[in-house]
Every structure is written in C-alpha cells, then in structure tokens.
C-alpha cells in the first residue's frame, strides 16, 4: 500500500527523535567514561602509582658486616669471609617441592639440607627468604643463575660469614656465632628485623654473645623490581647498613696460642694477667674445639663427640669452673690472721702431722709432721696444721672478709659466658643455704681451701695479682671498641700492712727457690725472671679412716675422675711483678708435679715474649725442655715479622 506524504513525514520525525535519544544516551555514557577516566588518571594517579609500585617493587634487608675482633697487637681473632648462598621465597616459588628437587639435582644438595630447608620454609612467613645452601662454589652460583627460568623464587646471593683464624686457641674466649633460633627470638621482647634474615648469625657464647649489640651493626636495605613470577629484574636503589664496631681484646694471641698448646690434652685451665692494668693476656681452657664447626652447622657426630668427652671441651673452665683452691688459699688465711693480730710472722706452731679438734682428727699432708713452723716455712713447705691453728684463732668471718678483699667469691664483669662467683663461705651463707650453724670443723677445712670454698682460675689469678701489687686489681678483657680505649677499672690500695705482704711474698719466693719449697723442681734459674708461687692440691673425694689405716691410695692408683685437682698460682718477676698466673689441672694429682711445671713454662714464655732460652731452666732439666720445645714448635704461631704492630 502506497504511503501518503503525511505518513512519510511522521515516520521521519520518529526516526530522528530516536536517533537523537540514542545519540544523547551514547554521549552521556561517553561523558561518564571520560569523567571516570579523568578521575582515575589524574585525581587518583598517585594512589594507583603507589599500588603499582608495591606490586612490582620488593624491599629486602641487607645484613651489615659484623665487627671484627682483634688481639692487643692487631691479630684478627674473628673475621668475615665471603659466603655464596642460594635462597628461596615460598610465595614466589609456586610448587616448592618441585623447585627444591630441581635445585637439588642442579647443585648436588644432600637430603639433609633439603629437609632442613623444607622445615624452615614451613616455619617462616611466605615472603621471608630462606637459605637453602651456603658456602657454595662460584660454579654452583653461576649454574643457578643460568637456570633461573626453571627455578622461580630462587635467588643466588653473596654475603659474609664468620671465620675464626685461630680456631681452638680462642674458642673459649671469643666464642662463636650461629643462625638465629626460635629460642633466641623468644628471649627478645622486640627482636631486630635483622634476625628474620635467612640464617642470620648472632653470637651464641663468649665475646660474640656478650657483645652482640656492639658487634652486630644496623641493617641496610635495597629495593628491587620483580616480574609477575617474582624474578628480579633490576635493583632500583641500595642503602648499605652500618657495620658493627670492631673490638680489641687484651689477649696476646701468641701467648694464648702457647698456653693452649702447653695445656695440650689435659682437662685444664690457665689465666695470665697483667699485674698493673688487670689485662687478661691469656685465658685458656683445654681441651679446645673448633668454633668454625658451629658457624657452618656442626654435625650430630661432631657435637656428640664434644658433649660425650669427659674432659668437657665445651666448658670455659677459666671462668665457669669452680674448684676447691686447696693450699693456694693459705695466703688468705695467713693474711687474715696477721691483720687480726692473732699471730706474728716469727711465731711458731708445732705440727705433729695431725690435730684433734672437737672430736675430729685433721691431718697434715706430711704424715710425720713438720715440727715447729712459722709463717714463711708454713707456706714454703705447705704445712696444714699451722693453718688449722690459725683458723681457730682467726675465725671464719675474718677469713671470709680477707678472701673477698683478695677477689674470691666475686663475679667479675667480663664479656664471657656463665662466669662463676665461686664460693666464699660464711656463717650467714651456711645458715641461709643449708639451714645449719657453722662449725669449727668448717673453719678448719676452709683455712686450707677445702670444705665449702670454691674458686675459679680467674679468681685465683686476681688474688695473685693483688698479693703481688697490694692493690685491688680488676681483670679487663676489652681493651678498645672501634679504636676507643676502654679505661682499666681503678685499682685502689688493699689497705693491708706492707710488712705482712712482704712476708707473704718472701714465703712464695721460697716455695719456688728454696730446696725445701714445694715447687723447687719448677724453679727458674734466670735471676731476673724468677717467680714466686704456691702449689695447691685439692681433694675431690673423702678419705675414710679405714683407708688411712690401710694406707691412702696414690693418685696413680685411682681412676682419672677421682684423682686430686692440681693447682699453682704465681707472679713474676719476683722483685718487680709484671704478670700473675693461675693454672688448674683437673684430676692432675699434685700441684707441684702437674700444675707448677706448666705455670713455670707460661711465665717464661710471657716474660721473654716468645720461646725462652733453655738457660732460664735448671741445668738438669735443659735436655728435657729442649725436647719439649721442639715438640710444641709445630703448634705455635710464628714470631711477628719486621714492622709488626706491638702494644
């Protein structure tokens, strides 16, 4: 049917109206989109830029270089060495098991290392890098880098790891570092973020542990760009951390090395102390152990070998060991009696070989007795009965006070682990500790360094230095931090009668230089180097009346762990003391036979600053000493070359 012109005109008007409505709607939508785009691209640009950056930029902490540890002459005791390692980030790795399997095949990881990495990955947050392997060869690192596409979330890194060049020589002093453990983190209220870095090492024992905050330093950081699978594209910027402070100890590394070698396989300890400053020149425990084993991750077999050893190589005997001081304590009793005025230096006491007190018999080491004995002879020949008499006259409170004055029963503030206070007993102590009253027999035992009295080798060295100097010398181990000298503690006079101290020193000189002295066989022939000292033998078992009736067994007839401890303390040179020495040989038998020869060798090594001439020894011993020096030579550090620094 043919449309009329009017119908065509109406239809055209309808089409035009619809087109206008549609065009308006389109224009409205386009306008809204434009406004939204403008809002997103202009007004919200900064916010979305930050979000985009967060998606592609990762922040990683950089561990600082740990401070170095030196001896007094600049010899490095704890160093840092390069360490190539491989880490994995769980959230970037995807199938962790598959990635670890490929990595194990690629660089030859053992099953134990892979299992350790799996446990660590499960324990840590997914974004924390976990070290899978350390101390890799450069070829292994290059192989990992070349196979990066097949190892998502795996990154090769280069860092620093601790190294102890002198090994066992300084293990008991410097200590060692190890990876942060859950126990370490649990002890801290606000742990440093550094401790979350994979296998970050912190001090575990010794100076490394006690000076952790000083040695650790502050973390740095780096921003890296990563792609969608977490692969590092580039490093955007880096801020290096602040290295830890370097620490200089008072130790003389060469002397420390000699002392450790001289102690050998004995279960023993020795301390060498500067009489004037209190500097600890050597502080050695034997047997030793290699601290580098702990840094690298000690094996179960190696660790069991150390813990099962009855000579306790992991124990720092110089400060942790607390031993009955035996006759090395007699100077304390003598000075307490002299200062109290209850005995004169020339007054004699008769020694018949034993004494009866309160129904108990106390024996002298010489069964037949010493006869009439005065102060100097009592120390020279180590008569016990003389000190039983002094104990009854003086009383435990005066002995206790004098022991404290000479440094016994004190815990000195040194950066070493588990320092023992020893035990300087008193009436109040026994009442508080055992709920019992003090008895006269306790005083008699204490007078000869037995009973409740306990002292560490460090405390015995301090006591000896105070006797030699007449001053309250305090031991010092840290000499400087970052080159800043740490001043020695003040050493005020002890306030003892100089005449009494002279008598004690004269007696100690006779111990070594008199033919009747208990250390005569360990004397020094070089007049300018002669030492003054005191032997000590402390029982570790009770001797019954029945055994005395049968005859007391000699130490060589007893199992090792039931033999007496051997002790010796000394200062030298006698006329102008420079060093004090204390030696304890666990279950060594006798102070004169086991401890005194070691101490004499240490004294000469320290005074001569190297191997002493055999002419310093008695003529009858020189062949044996030459042989001993030849045997020790391979274990000793070479002498410093020309221009070597000296303190």
Residue found by looking up tokens 């000579």 in the block: 311
Tell me the C-alpha distance between 71 and 74, whole Å. Answer: 5
Q: Choose between 422 and 18: higher pLDDT.
A: 422
- Is 5 a domain residue? no
Which two three-digit tokens encode residue 68? Answer: 């170095």
Split at pLDDT 50, 70, 90, the class of 551 is: low
φ/ψ region of 404 (left if φ > 0, alpha if ψ in -120 to 50, else beta) reads: alpha
pLDDT digits (tens, 9 = 90+) for 192-210: 777 777 678 899 999 999 9
Tell me the C-alpha distance between 384 and 361, whole Å. Answer: 12
- pLDDT given for residue 236 in this prediction: 73
Q: What value does the mean pLDDT take over residues 377-385?
A: 97
* Cα angle, residue 485 at apex, residues 463 and 607 outer, rounded to 5°: 45
Tell me the C-alpha distance between 634 and 640, whole Å. Answer: 16
Residues 231 and 295 in one domain: no
Q: Looking at the predicted structure, is the pLDDT value of residue 647 above 50?
A: no
- pLDDT given for residue 49 in this prediction: 60
Q: Looking at the predicted structure, is the pLDDT value of residue 25 above 80?
A: no
Residues 361 and 294 in one domain: yes
Report the percent of the chain where pLDDT is more than 70.
88
Strands 154-163 and 130-133: unpaired
Which of 11-20, 286-295, 503-512 bottoms out in mean pLDDT, i.e. has the lowest?
A: 11-20
Question: CA dist 217 to 65, 192, 439, 448, 627, Å?
Answer: 7, 11, 55, 49, 48
Helix residue spans in 514-614 (DSSP H): 545-550, 596-608
- Report the first-to-last Cα separation within the chain, whole angstroms: 124
Report the percent of the chain where pLDDT is more than 90.
61
- Is 646 a domain residue? no
Question: CA dist 310 to 320, 443, 587, Å?
Answer: 16, 32, 12
Highest mean pLDDT among 104-108, 489-493, 636-640: 489-493
Residues 207 and 326 in one domain: no
Tell me the C-alpha distance between 398 and 391, whole Å. Answer: 9
**Residues tagged active-site:** 327
- pLDDT given for residue 646 in this prediction: 40
Residues 534 and 428 in one domain: yes
Which two three-digit tokens encode residue 23? Answer: 């065009």
Residues 99 and 215 in one domain: yes
Query: What is 413-436 written as a DSSP string?
Result: --S-SS----B---HHHHHHHHS-
- Is 279 a domain residue? yes
* Cα angle, residue 384 at apex, residues 408 and 618 outer, rounded to 5°: 85
Alpha-carbon radius of gyration of the chain: 37
Q: Choose between 349 and 11: higher pLDDT.
A: 349
- Is 354 a domain residue? yes
Question: CA dist 135 to 109, 156, 161, 289, Å?
Answer: 12, 11, 9, 21
Residues 360 and 453 in one domain: yes
Residues 244 and 267 in one domain: no
- Is 644 a domain residue? no
Q: What domain count does the chain have?
A: 2
pLDDT digits (tens, 9 = 90+) for 474-513: 999 999 999 999 988 899 999 999 999 999 999 999 999 9
Q: Looking at the predicted structure, is the pLDDT value of residue 645 above 50?
A: no
- pLDDT given for residue 231 in this prediction: 56
* Cα angle, residue 204 at apex, residues 200 and 207 outer, rounded to 5°: 110
Q: What value does the mean pLDDT take over residues 441-463?
A: 97
Query: What is 59-124 written as a DSSP string?
Result: EEEEPPPPPPEE-TTS-EEEEEEEEEEEEE-HHHHSSHHHHHHHHHHHHT--HHHHHHHHHHHHHS
Residues 185 and 267 in one domain: no
CATH classification at residue 118: 3.90.1310.10
Split at pLDDT 50, 70, 90, the class of 297 is: confident
Q: What value does the mean pLDDT take over residues 293-312?
A: 89
Q: Do residues 602 and 270 touch, judged by C-beta distance below 8 A? A: yes
Split at pLDDT 50, 70, 90, the class of 138 is: confident
Q: Do residues 448 and 327 touch, judged by C-beta distance below 8 A? A: yes
Residues 362 and 483 in one domain: yes
What is the span of the domain harbouring residue 169?
61-249
What phi and psi, each to the nearest 5 degrees, are found at residue 569? -125, 150
φ/ψ region of 174 (left if φ > 0, alpha if ψ in -120 to 50, else beta) reads: alpha
Query: What is 120-137 written as a DSSP string?
Result: HHHHS-TTS-EEEE-S--
- pLDDT given for residue 371 in this prediction: 95
- Is 56 a domain residue? no
Residues 551 and 416 in one domain: yes
- Is 22 a domain residue? no
Which of 592, 463, 588, 579 has its CA nearest to residue 535?
592
Rounded to two decimals, the pTM is 0.84
Q: Choose between 86 and 444: higher pLDDT.
A: 444
Residues 342 and 464 in one domain: yes
Tell me the C-alpha distance between 407 and 403, whole Å. Answer: 6
Q: Do residues 73 and 644 touch, judged by C-beta distance below 8 A? A: yes
- Is 25 a domain residue? no
Split at pLDDT 50, 70, 90, the class of 635 is: very high
Tell me the C-alpha distance between 629 and 20, whole Å. Answer: 113
Split at pLDDT 50, 70, 90, the class of 540 is: confident
Residue found by looking up tokens 């983190």 in the block: 185
CATH classification at residue 506: 3.40.710.10
Q: Do residues 340 and 398 touch, judged by C-beta distance below 8 A? A: yes
Which of 17-26, 64-73, 527-536 bottoms out in mean pLDDT, i.e. has the lowest?
A: 17-26
Residues 159 and 99 in one domain: yes
Q: Looking at the predicted structure, is the pLDDT value of residue 6 above 50?
A: yes
Q: Do residues 241 and 63 touch, judged by C-beta distance below 8 A? A: yes
Q: Looking at the predicted structure, is the pLDDT value of residue 16 above 60?
A: yes
Q: State the angle between helix axes of 457-469 and 330-340 in degrees (0 to 180), rounded to the nearest 10.
A: 40
- The SS3 assignment for 301 reads helix
Average pLDDT, the chain: 88
Q: Looking at the predicted structure, is the pLDDT value of residue 55 above 70?
A: no
Tell me the C-alpha distance between 203 and 184, whole Å. Answer: 10
Q: State the angle between helix axes of 384-394 and 330-340 in degrees (0 to 180), rounded to the nearest 10.
A: 40
């Amino acid at each position: 049917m043919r449309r009329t012109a009017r119908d065509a005109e109406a239809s055209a008007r309808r089409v035009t109206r619809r087109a206008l409505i549609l065009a308006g709607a389109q224009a409205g939508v386009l306008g809204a989109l434009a406004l939204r785009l403008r809002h997103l691209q202009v007004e919200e640009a900064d916010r979305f830029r930050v979000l985009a950056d967060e998606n592609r930029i990762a922040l990683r902490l950089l561990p600082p270089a740990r401070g170095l540890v030196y001896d007094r002459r600049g010899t490095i005791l704890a160093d840092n060495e390069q360490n190539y390692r491989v880490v994995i980030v769980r959230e970037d790795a995807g199938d962790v098991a598959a990635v670890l399997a490929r990595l194990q095949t690629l660089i030859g990881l053992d099953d134990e290392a892979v299992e350790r990495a799996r446990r660590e990955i499960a324990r840590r947050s997914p974004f924390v890098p976990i070290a899978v392997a350390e101390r890799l060869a450069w070829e292994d690192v290059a192989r990992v880098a070349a196979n990066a596409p097949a190892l998502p979330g795996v990154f090769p890194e280069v860092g620093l790891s601790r190294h102890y060049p002198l090994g066992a020589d300084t293990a008991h002093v410097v200590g060692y570092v190890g990876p942060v453990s859950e126990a370490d983190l649990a002890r801290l209220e606000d742990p440093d973020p550094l401790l979350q870095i994979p296998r970050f090492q912190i001090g575990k024992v010794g100076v490394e542990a006690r000076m952790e905050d000083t040695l650790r330093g502050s973390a740095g950081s780096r921003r890296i760009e990563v792609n969608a699978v977490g692969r590092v594209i580039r490093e955007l910027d880096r801020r290096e951390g602040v290295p830890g402070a370097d620490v200089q100890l008072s130790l003389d590394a060469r002397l420390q090395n000699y002392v450790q070698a001289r102690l050998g396989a004995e279960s023993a300890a020795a301390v060498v102390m500067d009489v004037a400053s209190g500097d600890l020149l050597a502080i050695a425990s034997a047997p030793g152990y290699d601290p580098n084993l702990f840094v690298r991750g000690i094996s179960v077999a190696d660790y069991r070998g150390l813990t099962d050893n009855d000579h306790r190589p992991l124990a720092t005997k110089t400060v942790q060991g607390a031993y009955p001081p035996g006759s090395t304590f007699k100077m304390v009793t003598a000075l307490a009696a002299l200062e109290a005025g209850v005995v004169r230096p020339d007054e004699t006491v008769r020694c018949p070989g034993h004494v009866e007190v309160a129904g108990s018999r106390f024996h002298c080491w010489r069964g037949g007795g010493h006869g009439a004995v005065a102060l100097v002879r009592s120390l020279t020949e180590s008569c016990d009965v003389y000190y039983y008499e002094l104990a009854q006259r003086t009383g435990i409170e005066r002995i206790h006070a004098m022991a404290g004055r000479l440094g016994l029963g004190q815990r000195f503030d040194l950066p070493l682990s588990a320092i023992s206070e020893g035990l300087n007993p008193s009436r109040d102590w026994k009442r508080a500790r055992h709920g019992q009253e003090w008895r006269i027999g306790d005083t008699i035992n204490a007078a000869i360094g037995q009973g409740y009295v306990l002292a560490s080798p460090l405390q015995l060295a301090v006591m000896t230095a105070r006797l030699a100097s007449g001053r309250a010398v305090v031991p010092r181990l840290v000499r400087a931090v970052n080159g800043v000298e740490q001043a020695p503690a003040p050493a005020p006079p002890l306030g003892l009668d100089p005449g009494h101290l002279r008598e004690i020193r004269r007696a100690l000189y006779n111990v070594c230089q008199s033919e009747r002295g208990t250390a005569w066989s360990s004397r020094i022939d070089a007049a300018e180097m002669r030492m003054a000292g005191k032997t000590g033998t402390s029982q570790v078992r009770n001797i019954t009346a029945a055994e005395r009736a049968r005859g007391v067994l000699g130490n060589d007839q007893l199992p090792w762990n039931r033999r007496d401890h051997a002790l010796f303390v000394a200062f030298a040179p006698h006329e102008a003391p420079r060093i004090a020495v204390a030696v304890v040989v666990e279950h060594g038998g006798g102070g004169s036979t086991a401890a005194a020869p070691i101490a004499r060798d240490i004294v000469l090594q320290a005074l001569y600053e190297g191997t002493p001439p055999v002419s310093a020894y008695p003529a009858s011993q020189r062949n044996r000493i030459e042989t001993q020096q030849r045997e020790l030579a391979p274990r000793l550090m070479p002498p410093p070359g020309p221009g070597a620094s000296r303190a």
